[in-house]
Amino acid sequence: MSVTAINTRNQFKGSVVSINRGPVVSEVEIETPAGIISAVITTSSIDRLKLRIGDSALALFKATEVLIAKIGDQAA
C-alpha cells in the first residue's frame, strides 16, 4: 500500500525547525517558503513518526479549516 495523493491542496513542504514537547500534545514548527507553519499534534504521533528537528515534512490542512480576514486600505 502506498499513499499516492491526499485530497487537500493546502500542502506546504518545509523542514522542522522546532518541537516543543508536552506530555500529551506538542507544537511543531515547520519552516516553509511561506514562513513558519505551526502545528499541534499528539506527542505520541511525534514519537511514532520519529519526527526530529531538521526533518523534511509536509504541513497539510483542509480548506474548510481556513478563515479569511479582509485587509483594509483605510488610508483616506
Nearest approach in angstroms of CB 17 to a copy of itself is 13
Cell of 27: 507544537
Cα angle: 65, vertex 68, 69; to 5 degrees: 145
Does 48 help bind a copy of itself (rule: CB under 8 A)? Answer: yes
Does 17 help bind a copy of itself (rule: CB under 8 A)? Answer: no
Cell of 50: 520519529
Nearest approach in angstroms of CB 29 to a copy of itself is 9
Cell of 11: 500542502
Does 31 help bind a copy of itself (rule: CB under 8 A)? Answer: no
